[in-house]
A and B are shown apart, each in its own frame.
Chain A
C-alpha cells in the first residue's frame, strides 16, 4: 500500500490532468445551466436528462442511421436543441409569470419523464458507443498514458466554452442577450423579438448539454441514468460559480474538476462530497457565489 502514501510528482500531474478533463465536462454542462438561468431564471433540472438524450441520440444515429461520431457531434446537439426549443415554447413559456420555482418543478418532472422513458425502452445496462477511429489509442506522456479521446474532449469542450463566452461577451447577439437579461422590456422596445431569443437561448443551453452527452458517449456507457447523478454536482458547480455567471460556470467547473481529482488521490472516499463541502464554505463567505452578483 505504500505507493499511495508518497505520491510521485508525475503521478500527481497525471491526476491533475484527469481532473482537468472532468472539469471540462462540468464546465460544459454548467455553462448551459448558467446560460439558461441567466436568461430565463429557470433552474433547468432537466439538464442531466438532456445530456443523456444527447448521448442516446448519438447512439441511435450510429445504430439505426449509420451516422458516425462526427455526424452525431453536429446532429445530436441539434436534435436536443430542438427538443429544448419545443419544451420552452409549449411548456416553460407558460410559467414565466409565476414563481421561478415552478420552472424548477416542471423541469424536474420532465427529467423524470425522459429518464423513465429511456429506461423503459432501452433498459439500464446502457449501450456501448465506440471511440471514433481517428481518436483511438493514446500517447504515453511519461507520467501517464493519455488516451487521445480524452485529449480531444478537453480541447473540444474548452473550445466550446470559450466560444460561448466569446459569443455572449463579445458579439452583437451576446449584447442582445445580456441586455435582455437586464431589461427585457426595453430590448423588446428596440424591435428585438425577445421571446424568440429566449426560446433560442434555452435551445442553445440544452444543446450544450446534448453536446456534452455526445462527448461523453464513448467514455461512459450510454445509459438512461448517466445524467441523474452528474447533474447534482453540476448544480453545485453553478451555485459555487454564481448563478447565471458564464465565466463563473467555466472557471468553477474546471477548478472543481481539479480539486475533485486531487481528492480522488488523497482521500477518495470524500471525492463525491468535496464539491458540496466547498459549496457550503463558499456560500458562507460569498452568498452569491464566486462570480455571482447579489440579486
Chain B
C-alpha cells in the first residue's frame, strides 16, 4: 500500500511478531487477545468511524458464541461453517438492532442498544439451547476444512490469527473505501451529508451490521478457542469492557483497539492472581482515560509523534 516505507516496515514487523509470538507466549492467551482485539476493532468501526456508541455489543459477541458453539457441538458442523453461522447470526441481530436504534443519536443510541442487548441476555439465560448459566461446554474444535486439526494449539493459533487478520483487513478496507469516506463524512457532519444526497441512515445501518457481524466472528472464534459459550460474553459489563479496550487504545485509530484489547486482557489475567480488586482497577483506568487520555494510547502516540500524523482523518468526533 502507499504510505511510505515506515508503515510497511511497521506492518511487516508486527506480522512477524504475530507469527512468532506463540513460541514465546502462551498460545491460549494470545488467542484470547486476538479474539478481543477483533471484537474491539469491530466495535471501533462503529464508534471511531461512524460516531455511534453502542453499549450493547456484547449481544453480538456473546450471541454469536452461542450460535457457533451450538452449531459445532449439537449439529456437528465443521468449524468454518460454525463461524460463518455465528457471523451471519450476529449480522442479522445487528440488522434488527440497527433498524430500531439507528434513527437515534448519541446517548439515546447507546441506551437503546444497551436495552436491546439486555433482551439478548435474558434470551441467553432462558432459551434451552444455551443451557442457562452453565453455558455450552465441551465444544469440539474439529478440523478446519476437514484438514487441519484445531485441537493442536498452534494450528488453532494460526487459524485465529488468520481470522483476526482477515477481519482486520476487512475493517481496514472498509475504512479506506468509498463507503468509509461517506461514513466519516456522516460522522463529521450528518446534516451536511444529508444535504449532499446521502441517505445517512442506510450507511449507518450498514456500518452497524458490519460491526455486529465482525463482533460475531470474534465471538464465534472465542467459542472455538475456549470450547465454550457462556453468559459472561452477553452481559452488559462485557459491552462496557469493549468500550474500555477501544477507549484505552484509541478510538478511531486502526491499531488502537488491538493495543487496548491486549492491555485489558493482560491486565485481567494478571489481576486474577493478585488480591487487587479487579473492577476497581478497571474502573480507575476508565476514569483516567476519559479525563486525561481521551485519544487513547495509539491516538496519543500519533498525536505526539509528528511523523505519524500525516493525515488525521480518523479522529473521533468530539464536541456536541
Q: Spell out A's residues near B (CB within 8 Å).
A: 37, 41, 43, 91, 94-95, 97-102, 104-106, 108-117, 119-120, 232, 235-236, 238-239, 243, 269, 272-273, 276-277, 279-280, 283-284, 287
Residues on the A chain within 8 Å of B112, using CB: 239, 279-280, 283
Which of B243, B247, B283, B284: most chain A Cβ within 10 A? B283
Contact of B319 with A by CB under 8 A = yes
Residues on the A chain within 8 Å of B108, using CB: 239, 243, 287
Closest Cβ–Cβ distance, residue B19 to chain A (whole Å):
35
Which of A91, A104, A111, A119: most chain B Cβ within 10 A? A104
Please pick, from A37, A104, A110, A276, the residue contacting B118 in the complex, using a CB distance under 8 A.
A276
Closest Cβ–Cβ distance, residue A105 to chain B (whole Å):
5
Known: A97-B319, A105-B290, A112-B279. A287 touches B104 (CB 8 A): yes
Q: When chains A and B are docked, how far (Å) is the Cα of A114 from the Cα of B318?
A: 27
Tell me whether A116 and B280 are in contact (CB under 8 A): yes
Tell me whether B106 and A106 are in contact (CB under 8 A): no
Please pick, from B106, B115, B287, the residue contacting A236 in the complex, using a CB distance under 8 A.
B115
Residues on the B chain within 8 Å of A37, using CB: 107
Closest Cβ–Cβ distance, residue B205 to chain A (whole Å):
15
Which 9 pairs of residues, A with B, have the shortest CB-CB distance?
A: A109-B286, A112-B283, A116-B279, A116-B280, A113-B283, A120-B277, A109-B287, A106-B290, A273-B122
Residues on the A chain within 8 Å of B286, using CB: 105-106, 108-109, 112
Please pick, from A43, A120, A287, the residue contacting B111 in the complex, using a CB distance under 8 A.
A43
Q: List 21 A-B contacts (CB under 8 A).
A: A37-B107, A98-B318, A99-B320, A109-B284, A110-B287, A112-B279, A112-B282, A113-B280, A115-B279, A117-B280, A232-B114, A232-B118, A235-B111, A235-B114, A236-B111, A243-B111, A276-B119, A276-B122, A280-B112, A280-B115, A280-B116
Task: Kindly report which residue of chain A lies nearest to residue B279, judged by CB atoms.
Answer: A116
Q: When chains A and B are docked, how far (Å) is the Cα of A269 from the Cα of B128?
A: 13
Closest Cβ–Cβ distance, residue B249 to chain A (whole Å):
14
Contact of B181 with A by CB under 8 A = no
Please pick, from A43, A116, A272, A276, the residue contacting B283 in the complex, using a CB distance under 8 A.
A116
Contact of B110 with A by CB under 8 A = yes
Closest Cβ–Cβ distance, residue B124 to chain A (whole Å):
11
Contact of B162 with A by CB under 8 A = no
Contact of B278 with A by CB under 8 A = yes
Q: When chains A and B are docked, how far (Å) is the Cα of A226 from the Cα of B55?
A: 21
Q: When chains A and B are docked, how far (Å) is the Cα of A136 from the Cα of B307?
A: 71
Q: When chains A and B are docked, how far (Å) is the Cα of A37 from the Cα of B279?
A: 25
Known: A97-B319, A119-B277. A283 touches B100 (CB 8 A): yes
Which of A100, A243, A276: most chain B Cβ within 10 A? A276
Residues on the B chain within 8 Å of A43, using CB: 107, 110-111
Closest Cβ–Cβ distance, residue A155 to chain B (whole Å):
30
Q: When chains A and B are docked, how far (Å) is the Cα of A109 from the Cα of B294?
A: 14
Tell me whether A109 and B283 are in contact (CB under 8 A): yes
Tell me whether A273 and B118 are in contact (CB under 8 A): yes
Q: When chains A and B are docked, how far (Å) is the Cα of A116 from the Cα of B108?
A: 27
Residues on the A chain within 8 Å of B119, using CB: 273, 276-277, 280
Which of B106, B107, B122, B285: most chain A Cβ within 10 A? B107
Which of A104, A109, A277: most chain B Cβ within 10 A? A109
Closest Cβ–Cβ distance, residue B9 to chain A (whole Å):
35
Q: When chains A and B are docked, how far (Å) is the Cα of A101 from the Cα of B286?
A: 13
Residues on the B chain within 8 Å of A236, using CB: 111, 115, 118
Contact of B131 with A by CB under 8 A = no
Q: When chains A and B are docked, how far (Å) is the Cα of A41 from the Cα of B278?
A: 29
Q: A116-B281, A238-B111 given. 8 additional CB < 8 A pairs?
A: A91-B291, A94-B291, A109-B282, A109-B283, A111-B283, A116-B279, A273-B118, A283-B112
Q: When chains A and B are docked, how far (Å) is the Cα of A235 from the Cα of B318?
A: 24
Tell me whether B280 and A120 are in contact (CB under 8 A): yes
Residues on the B chain within 8 Å of A41, using CB: 107
Closest Cβ–Cβ distance, residue B287 to chain A (whole Å):
4
Tell me whether A243 and B107 are in contact (CB under 8 A): yes
Q: When chains A and B are docked, how far (Å) is the Cα of A273 from the Cα of B125?
A: 11
Please pick, from B103, B107, B116, B285, the residue contacting A101 in the complex, using a CB distance under 8 A.
B107
Q: When chains A and B are docked, how far (Å) is the Cα of A167 from the Cα of B232?
A: 43
Contact of B203 with A by CB under 8 A = no
Task: Kindly report which residue of chain A lies nearest to residue B239, judged by CB atoms.
Answer: A108
Contact of B315 with A by CB under 8 A = no
Closest Cβ–Cβ distance, residue A122 to chain B (whole Å):
12
Closest Cβ–Cβ distance, residue A41 to chain B (whole Å):
8
Q: When chains A and B are docked, how far (Å) is the Cα of A97 from the Cα of B294?
A: 13
Residues on the B chain within 8 Å of A116, using CB: 277-283
Tell me whether A99 and B317 are in contact (CB under 8 A): yes
Tell me whether B115 and A276 are in contact (CB under 8 A): yes
Interface residues of B in 42-60 (CB under 8 A from A): 53, 55
Tell me whether B236 and A232 are in contact (CB under 8 A): yes
Tell me whether B103 and A110 are in contact (CB under 8 A): no
Residues on the B chain within 8 Å of A101, using CB: 53, 106-107, 110
Residues on the A chain within 8 Å of B132, using CB: none
Q: When chains A and B are docked, how far (Å) is the Cα of A110 from the Cα of B288?
A: 10
Contact of B22 with A by CB under 8 A = no
Contact of B27 with A by CB under 8 A = no
Tell me whether A276 and B280 are in contact (CB under 8 A): no
Q: When chains A and B are docked, how far (Å) is the Cα of A98 from the Cα of B294?
A: 10
Task: Kindly report which residue of chain A lies nearest to residue B247, judged by CB atoms.
Answer: A105
